[in-house]
């Protein structure tokens, strides 16, 4: 829970910053599609700080600073907004320990978020552009600790549907019209799974593979065994050629229960530069 409490102040700060600086978006630069959508194909890379506490691997928290990358496709007009984003990272996580063995865990994380939103007639539409809608999300995590026999190979996944929303405001940067945007996404109904055999001696055996156990113990839950919060703050800067630069801070937190009840808590803070090609 420490990971959640450390991230909540950042989330609330993001809300206050955008609430004070958001304004209506008017996409009138660059190429528009036949249906008058502004479309952007984005490629991003940045620095990520990630930490996790996994009860089946260790009683200590692991963390690391590394690199994350993403690819996205965004469509927006005066009424509708859609975004499909893939993001991934691979880090050699470390822990603070007095033990002689400096244990490291390889952590692979990837997720896909699809956001489909419509404009809402709330607040002052001359100042705020508020949109809300549905979220479809998939998440995959793999932690590998070669020092831990039988229990050091952890796979987990989550396939979710939920709600998402964003608020934005036009902002001038050095004479060019950009935007400040904050969005929040929370899954509510999820198909999720983690293996059940880990750290349970009677479950360890040659036939109990991590991937097999993961899919054998999948379950559908509603904000119970799996909870995820994704909050992002963007600065969108337009270029003269119609493309855009997007500077993003992302806080992503999730907790998940295993098949035997063991929990994992993970959090990430990511700063990313995204180049968006208008097409």
pLDDT for 163-210, tens place per residue? 999 999 988 888 888 899 999 999 999 999 887 655 444 444 555 565
- pTM, rounded to two decimals: 0.81
Per-residue pLDDT of the chain (279 residues; tens, 9 = 90+): 555 545 554 444 444 333 333 333 344 456 777 778 899 999 999 999 999 998 877 788 999 999 999 999 999 999 999 999 999 999 999 887 655 556 788 999 999 999 999 999 887 777 889 999 999 999 999 988 877 665 677 888 999 999 999 999 988 888 888 899 999 999 999 999 887 655 444 444 555 565 566 666 788 888 777 899 999 999 999 998 889 999 999 999 999 887 677 788 999 999 999 999 999
Which CATH topology does 2-278 take?
A: Lipocalin (2.40.128)
> What's the per-residue H, E or C state across the chain?
CHHHHHHHHHHHHHHHHHHHHCCCCCCCCCCECCCCCEEEEEEEEEEEEEEEEECCCCCCCEEEEEEEEEEEEEEECCCEEEEEEEEEEEEEEEECCCCCCCCEEEEEEEEEEEEEEEECCCCCCCCCEEEEEEEEEEEEEEEECCCCCCCCEEEEEEEEEEEEEEEEEEEEECCEEEEEEEEEEEEEEEEEECCCCCCCHHHCCCCCCHHHHHHHCCEEEECCCEEEEEEEEEEEEECCCCCEEEEEEEEEEEEEECCCCCEEEEEEEEEEEEEEEEC
């Amino acid at each position: 829970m420490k990971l959640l409490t450390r991230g909540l102040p950042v989330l609330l700060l993001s809300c206050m910053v955008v609430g004070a600086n958001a304004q209506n978006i008017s996409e009138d630069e660059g190429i528009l599609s036949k249906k008058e959508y502004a479309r952007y194909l984005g490629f991003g890379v940045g620095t990520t700080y990630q930490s996790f506490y996994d009860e089946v691997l260790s009683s200590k928290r692991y963390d690391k600073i590394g690199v994350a990358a993403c690819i996205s496709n965004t469509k927006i007009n005066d009424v509708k907004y859609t975004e499909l984003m893939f993001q991934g990272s691979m880090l050699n996580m470390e822990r603070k320990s007095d033990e002689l063995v400096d244990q490291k865990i390889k952590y692979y994380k990837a997720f896909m978020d699809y956001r489909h939103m419509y404009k809402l007639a709330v607040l002052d539409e001359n100042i705020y552009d508020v949109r809300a809608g549905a979220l479809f999300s998939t998440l995959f995590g793999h932690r590998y600790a070669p020092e831990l026999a039988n229990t050091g190979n952890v796979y987990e996944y989550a396939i979710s549907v939920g709600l998402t929303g964003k608020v934005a405001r036009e902002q001038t940067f050095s004479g060019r019209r950009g935007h400040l945007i904050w969005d929040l996404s929370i899954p509510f109904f999820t198909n999720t799974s983690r293996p059940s055999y880990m750290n349970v001696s009677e479950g360890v055996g040659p036939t109990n593979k991590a991937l097999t156990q993961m899919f054998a113990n999948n379950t559908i839950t509603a904000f119970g065994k799996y909870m995820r919060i994704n909050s992002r703050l963007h600065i969108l800067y337009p270029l003269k050629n119609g493309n855009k630069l997007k500077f993003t801070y992302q806080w992503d937190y999730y907790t998940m229960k295993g098949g035997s009840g063991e929990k994992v808590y993970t959090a990430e803070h990511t700063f990313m530069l995204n180049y968006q090609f208008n097409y």
